[in-house]
Structure 1
Amino acid sequence: MLRICTGKSAQICLNSTFRTARLRSANYQFAGASFVRFNSSNSSDPLVSKSEIQTQLPSFDETTSSAVDAGLAVSDQISQVVGEASSHVGYLSSIGMAKSWWWPPELIQNIMEQIHVYSGLPWWGTIATTTILVRLLMFPLYVKSSDTMARNSKIKPEMDAINAELMAATDMVEGQRVAMKRKKLMADNGIKNRYLAAPILQVPLALGFFSGIRQMANYPVDGFTNQGIAWFSDLSLADPYLGLQIITASVFISFTRLGGETGAQQFSPMMKNVFTVLPLLSIPATMNLASGVVLYFAVNGACSVLQTLTLRNKWFRQKLNIAEVVKHEPTPGAPAKGIIETFKENMEKARQQAERRQAMQDNEKKLQASAKELKSNKNIKIVHRSDFKKSRN
């Protein structure tokens, strides 16, 4: 409604109109739940200045942008907190890993966490360092195993003859005599075959590395996604170029052709071909594994090559008093046997030996039964002194 002011009351009328407009504006702002700050320090007017009155709601895009910015800020704070927690011992335990020191995967996770926290190494360096330390701890066992294999190679012809004699034994007494002969031969040459189990001890450790690192990559543990190196910067993803798989296959082929991890194993040409094909087949088999897992395979294989070269070195073997490997020429005229033929022959020998052992046990039981029956039929019996006194009384 438009009011027209004239005469003396013009000034009073204008003031009344302005006051009404101000009150309506304030009522509208209150009804819209919009609160404004009064600039009481800069203005003597108790009402809101025109520049501070919001006449329009913020747009949806502005509201969304503000919410996204706030969410990113919170996410950055959470990431900072997690990153700080992962640099302390106990982080893996807090997310359900590394709960014990006796189960191989959790043992490896505990060791890796200790190295990662106290050394400050990134995760790729932690995996490599842990692998190298474990191989160094097991190196003395491989030295003993290499020495045992070399001593066995020295007496191989005599041992083969004794084993053939033992396989042909049909009597329990004869078998025990041949077994004692073999034991004496090994003792005279300082052979303790228990050290041949050293490579087998690496199996639970290898499974622990594989399972432990794979669990950390699948989670993924903080830092696994950005603490890689070179072309595999994300340890939780598969190697996009299969570089780690190719390196692993190459080093495994190398150390098997050099004589295995002990440097003293003698493989036939057929077995060398098999150990060449198997690592190549491992490339497609491991192409989908996380880079952290395959990194362990590559570092472990590189350690095997260095260990093989070290144990093959004559100067090193002399310093550690490791026997030299004796290579025997194959029997002239002996036909070359393939893997399948050798396997069938060994299975047949094992079956025949089991049958002879069972026959010897049955024969021994018969002899014991006949001896017991003969003893019961004798007129003179052996009586204990206490039983004799009781019978007299």
Structure 2
Amino acid sequence: MFQKVTLLNNSLSVISKNNTLLSKRMISLTQNNNKLFSQLKYKNSFSLNKSTILPTIQTVRFNSNDTVKTEVTEEVANAAPNTEFASSLPDFSNNAASNITDAVSSIPLDDTSFGYLKSIGMAEHPFYWLPDTIQQILELEHVYLDIKWGAAIVLTTILYKMALVPLQIKQSEVSVNLAKFQAESKKYNDQMYDKDLEHYQKMQTTVLKLKEKNGLQSGQMKYVFLPMVCNAAFALSLFTSLRQMCAYPVSGFENGGWLWFENLVNIDQYLGLQILSSASIFLYTKYVVLANQDMMPGAGSNSILSSPKMQKVMKFLPFLSIPFTMSLSSGVVLYITASTLSSFIFGRLVRNDKFRVMLGYSPFPKREEILANAAKAAGDKPQGFRDSMKQMQNQQLKKVEFQKRMQKKIDEFEKMRSMKK
């Protein structure tokens, strides 16, 4: 009897140990399953073996007369899930970055978003290529000022014309001073090569004093050509930029204009913009280009535009631009019109005394004053372009003869010095 009780106690102890081990395995399996479910939130980075089966628990009723079956303990102890887990998470940094980049790049841009021009292959190098810089400026005005493309074209044209105003005023000052200097130094230049070397040096000294008197230092002559170079570079860049944008065409150009030229991509069928552009060129030619001949060297007497026939041609020449602009898009012709009109307005302001004084420059000299100084210094009636060319040719011949005389004297001096030795 005592042996049966002992055997029963041993059996109960084994069952208790088996239940404890089974509970621990159940907790471990639950934790592993929870970890598995949390990891499934990623992009299927792990695979779960479908053969995962929890061990089956069988209830055994022991009889006091039966032998203890220890196989249950071995089954529970040896039971293990067939699930295999990765030891570390994969690296999502590169994939995530590429996915974000692809997602952003796949978002379609329109003309209301900054960067639209770059997305279609324009304005790629705005920091060192002037046409791309102008396209970037047009896009900034269109997006952030919320204006039409046509208004952006006009605004950009006016801004760059305003930026050239100080250079144009400086150009007018230098041109007026140059005209005064050439008129005053004309008689000295004519007599410079008539006599010997001493006379030449005396005339040259007088000319240099006159040059200094009129404020024509060595660095001032660049202002005669600098505004023209800057204007030509910007005008050509804006022209090519608009032609590219109209040829693409850029989104928003189809309704970027007004009135009869609302579509900036199409050609103006009514030729309204072409007529406006030719009229603006006529105003600019008559009241700016021809009027500025008064302050050019010789007070307009030595210029090719000073002849009456040439002035008549210059007045009707702008209207010949209509056939050349008939095939251009409305956006390009709109720029030409805005450019010539703004050039006419700012060209007149450059000659306005109040505007010049407001910017800190001296008043513009009167036409009568320039002509009087030129006639007084020249001593004869104004010459035409053909006469001035003949005079320049004669002056060059006198210079060559003077150099030959000086070289002959130098040779004689060297010969005499060699004979004394």
* Same fold per superposition (TM over 0.5): yes
Report the AA paired with residue 133 of structure 1.
Answer: L
1:209-256 per-position Cα deviation (integer Å, ceiling 9, x unaligned):
222222222222222233122211222232222222222222222233
2:211 aligned partner, one-letter code: M
Is 2:197 the counterpart of 1:158? Answer: no
Q: Deviations over 1:174-218 (max 9, x none)?
A: 556544433321321334443222442212222212222222222
Aligned counterpart for 1:81 among listed residues 99, 103, 108: 108
Note closer, same or farther for the CA distance 1:159–1:367 as it changes in structure 2 (3 Å cut). Answer: closer
1:89 Cα deviation from its structure 2 partner = 3.0
The answer on 1:272 being equivalent to 2:301 is no
Deviation at 1:377, TM superposition (A): 5.7
Report the more deviating stretch, 141-150 or 110-119: 110-119
- Aligned with 1:81: secondary structure? coil
Find the residue that maps to 2:254 and give its secondary structure: coil
Q: Which amino acid aligns with 1:276?
A: K
| Map of 1:324 onto structure 2 | 365
Matched, 1:232 2:261: yes
Is the Cα contact below 8 Å between 2:149 and 2:256 reproduced in 1?
yes
Q: Which amino acid aligns with 2:260?
A: W
What whole-Å deviation, never above 9, does each CA across 1:5-58 have from its counterpart, x for those lacking one?
Answer: xxxxxxxxxxxxxxxxxxxxxxxxxxxxxxxxxxxxxxxxxxxxxxxxxxxxxx
| Corresponding position: 1:256 with 2:282 | no
Q: Which runs of 5+ in 2 are unaligned?
A: 1-106
What's 1:120 paired with?
146
Distance 1:153 1:364, change over 3 A: closer
Find the aligned partners of 1:369 and 1:212 in 2 and give their Cα distance.
62
Partners of 2:164 and 2:227 within 8 A in 1: no
State how far apart, in whole Å, the 2-side matches of 1:169 and 1:216 are: 62
2:346 to 286, 301, 307: 307
Quick one: distance in 1 between partners of 2:408 and 2:126?
54
Using the TM superposition, give the Cα deviation of residue 286 of structure 1 relative to its aligned residue in structure 2, in angstroms: 1.7
**1:124 match: secondary structure:** helix
Q: Select the residue among 126, 131, 142 that pairs with 1:105.
A: 131
Corresponding position of 1:10: none
Say if 2:319 is the partner of 1:292: no
Equivalence for 1:188: 213
Write the distance in 1 (CA, Å) between the matches of 2:312 and 2:181: 27
Corresponding residue to 1:244 among 264, 270, 273: 273
Check 1:292–1:333 CA distance in 2 against 1; reply closer, same or farther (3 A cut): same
For the Cα contact (< 8 Å) 2:274–2:326, is it kept in 1? yes
- SS of 1:88's equivalent in the other structure is coil
Report if aligned partners of 2:162, 2:346 keep a CA contact under 8 Å in 1.
Answer: no
Aligned with 2:169 (options 136, 143, 154)? 143
Could you tell me the percent identity over the aligned residues? 30
How far apart are the structure 1 equivalents of 2:273 and 2:223? 32
Residues of 2 paired with 1:163 and 1:253: CA distance?
Answer: 38
Q: Deviations over 1:368-393 (max 9, x none)?
A: 566566656654xxxxxxxxxxxxxx
Over aligned residues, Cα RMSD in angstroms?
3.7
Considering only CA atoms, is the larger Rg found in Structure 1 or Structure 2?
Answer: 2
TM-superposed deviation, 1:348: 3.9
The answer to whether the Cα contact below 8 Å between 2:134 and 2:241 also exists between their aligned partners in 1 is yes
Q: Aligned partner of 1:325: which letter? A: K
What displacement does 1:125 show? 1.1
Change (3 A) 1:175 1:276: farther
Paired amino acid for 1:186: K
Q: Secondary structure of 2:143's partner?
A: helix
Paired with 1:110 and 1:261, the residues of 2 have a C-alpha distance of 36
When residues 333 and 171 of structure 1 are mapped into structure 2, their CA distance, relative to the original with a 3 A threshold, is: closer
